[in-house]
Structure 1
Amino acid sequence: MKKTKISCILASALLAFSAQTAGAQAASAAKAPATVAHTALFDYFSYSGDDDIYKKVKLEGEGGFYNPILPGWYSDPSICRVGDDYFMVTSSFSYYPGVPLFHSKDLVNWKQISYILDRPSQLPLAGQKVSAGIFAPAISYNPHNKTFYMVTTNVGWGNFFVKTKDPFGSWSEPIRLPDVKGIDPSFFFDDDGKAYIVNNDEPEGKAEYDGHRAIRVREFDVNTDKTVGPEKILVNKGVHPEDKPIWIEGPHMYKINGKYFLMSAEGGTSDMHSEVIFRSDSPFGPFVPAKKNPILTQRDLDPNRIDPVTCAGHADLVQTPSGDWWAVFLACRPCEGKFENLGRETFLLPVSWTDEGFPLILEQGKTVPMTGNVKGAVRGKNVTFGNFAYNDDFSEKTLPLDWFSLRGPVDSICSTNAVPGYLSMKCIETTTAEKAVPAYVGRRIQHHKFECSSRLVFEPQTVNERAGMLLFKDETHQYLLCVAKTSAGKAVELRKTADGGKDEILASSALAKADKDIRLKIVSRGLTFDFYYAVGKGEWKLLKNNVDAGFLSTRNAGGFTGTTIGLYATRG
Structure 2
Amino acid sequence: MHHLVASCISLLIFLLTPSKAKHNSTYNNPILPGWHSDPSCTRVEDVFFCVTSTFDVFPGLPIYASKDLLDWKLVSHAWNRESQLPGYSAGTEGQQLGHYAATIRHHDGIFYVICVYLGAPAETGVLYTTKNPYDDSAWSDPVTFNASSIDPDLFWDDDGKVYTVLSGITLQEIDVKTGDLSDPINIWNGTGGVYPEGPHLYKKDGFYYLLIAEGGTELKHSISIARSTNLKGPYESYKHNPILTNRNTDEYFQTVGHGDLFQDTNGNWWGTALATRGGPSWKVYPMGRETVLFPVTWEKGQWPILEPVKGHMTGWTLPPRTRELPGEGPFNDDPDVYDFKSGSDIPRNLVYFRVPREDSFAVTRKGLRIIPSRGNLTGIPGNDDLSGQKGLGFIGRRQTDTYFTYSVVINFEPKRIGQEAGVTVFLTQENHIDLGVVLLNSSHKDESPRLYFRLRTEATIVDNLPAVPAPRQPVKIIPIPHSWVGEKIRLQIKTINETHYGFSAMPSTRPQAAIDIGSASAQLVSGGSGTFVGSLVGAYATCNGVGSGSDCTQGGEVYIDRWRYSGHGQVIE
TM-score higher than 0.5 = yes
Cα-to-partner distance string for 1:192-236 (whole Å, 9 max, x where unaligned): 211111001xxxxxxxxxxxxx200011234644223x3210112
Relative to structure 1, the CA distance from residue 174 to residue 343 in structure 2 (aligned partners, 3 Å threshold; closer, same or farther) is: same
Give the SS at the match of 2:170.
strand
Contact 1:134 1:152 in 2 (8 A): yes
Q: How does 1:117-156 map to 2 (within 5 A)?
A: 117-123=79-85, 124-126=88-90, 127-143=92-108, 146-156=109-119
Say if 1:273 and 1:297, in contact at 8 Å, map to a contact too. yes
Counterpart for residue 509 of structure 1: 479
> Where does structure 2 lack aligned partners over 5 or more consecutive residues?
13-22, 325-329, 379-386, 443-449, 462-469, 545-573
Instruction: Name the CA distance, whole Å, in 2 between partners of 1:508 and 1:62.
Output: 56
Q: Could you say which residue in structure 1 is the equivalent of 2:493?
A: 522
2:439 to 472, 485, 490: 485
> Does the C-alpha gap of structure 1 residues 523 and 264 become closer, same or farther in structure 2, counting only changes over 3 Å?
same
2:142 to 174, 182, 206: 174
CA-CA distance at 1:425 after TM superposition: 1.2
Q: Of the candidates 258, 263, 286, which is equivalent to residue 341 of structure 1?
A: 286
Query: CA–CA distance in 2 between the matches of 1:171 and 1:231?
Result: 28
In the alignment, the residues of structure 1 paired with residue 177 and residue 336 of structure 2 have an alpha-carbon distance, to the nearest angstrom, of 45
Verify the 8 A CA contact 1:70 1:384 in the aligned structure 2: no
SS in 2 for 1:192: coil
Answer whether contact 2:455 2:518 (CA < 8 A) is retained: no
Cα deviation 1:396-429 (Å, max 9, x = unaligned): 621111101121145501111x225x11112231
SS, match of residue 266 in structure 2: coil
Q: 1:550 to 1:542 in 2, by over 3 A?
A: farther
Q: Which residue of 1 aligns with 2:362?
A: 415
- Given that 2:268 and 2:316 are in contact with CA atoms closer than 8 Å, whether structure 1 keeps it comes out as no
SS of residue in 2 equivalent to 1:185: coil
1-structure distance, mates of 2:316, 2:125: 35
Gap change, CA 1:504 and 1:429, over 3 Å in 2: farther
What does 1:243-282 correspond to in 2, within 5 Å? 245-282=193-230
Aligned partner (choices 247, 269, 276) of residue 332 of structure 1:
276
Report the alpha carbon displacement of residue 459 of structure 1 after superposing the two structures with TM: 1.1
Gap change, CA 1:128 and 1:559, over 3 Å in 2: farther
Which is further off, 429-438 or 340-349?
Answer: 429-438
Determine helix, strand or coil for the equivalent of 2:349.
coil
Q: Are the aligned partners of 1:199 and 1:217 in contact in 2 as well (CA < 8 Å)? A: yes
SS at match of 1:115: strand
Alpha-carbon offset, residue 377 of structure 1: 2.0
Partner residue, 2:305? 360
Do residues 563 (structure 1) and 527 (structure 2) align?
no
Q: Partner amino acid for 1:506?
A: K
1:399 corresponds to: 346
Distance 1:557 1:353, change over 3 A: same
Q: Check if 1:195 corresponds to 2:190.
A: no
Match of 1:17 in 2: none
Higher RCO (CA < 8 A, seq sep 6+) = 1
Q: Distance in 1 between matches of 2:473 and 2:49?
A: 42
Task: Give the 3-state SS of the residue equivalent to 1:121 in structure 2.
Answer: helix
Distance 2:26 2:79 in 1: 32
* Contact kept in structure 2, 1:507 and 1:543, CA below 8 Å: no
- The more displaced of 52-61 and 155-164 is 52-61
| Count of residues in correspondence between the two structures | 490
TM-score by length of 1: 0.80
- Offset at residue 121 of structure 1 (A): 2.5
- Match of 1:226, SS state, is coil
Residue 379 of structure 1: how far off its partner (Å): 2.4
Query: What residue is the counterpart of 2:395 in the other structure?
Result: 441
Percent sequence identity over aligned pairs: 31
Whole-Å separation in 2 of the counterparts to 1:406 and 1:265:
28
Q: CA deviation at 1:503?
A: 9.9
Q: Cα distance, 1:532 vs. partner?
A: 0.8
Q: Aligned partners of 2:178, 2:202: CA distance in 1, in Å?
A: 23
2:516 alignment counterpart: 543
- The letter of the residue matching 1:429 is R
Alpha carbons of structure 1 residues 51 and 452: separation in structure 2 relative to 1, 3 Å: farther
Q: How far, CA to CA, are the matches of 1:503 and 1:431 in structure 2?
A: 18
**Is the contact between residue 425 and residue 434 of structure 2 (CA under 8 Å) also seen in structure 1?**
yes
- Change beyond 3 A, Cα 1:536–1:110: closer
Residues 517 and 221 (structure 1), Cα distance of their counterparts in 2 relative to 1, 3 Å cut = closer
Q: What amino acid does structure 1 have at the position aligned with 2:433?
A: Y
Q: 1:165 is matched with which residue?
A: 131
Shift in Å at residue 150 of structure 1? 0.8
2 CA distance for matches of 1:391 and 1:83? 32
Encode CA deviations 1:142-167: one digit per residue, 9 max, x unaligned: 23xx3221110111132121122332
Maintained 8 Å contact 1:414/1:424: yes
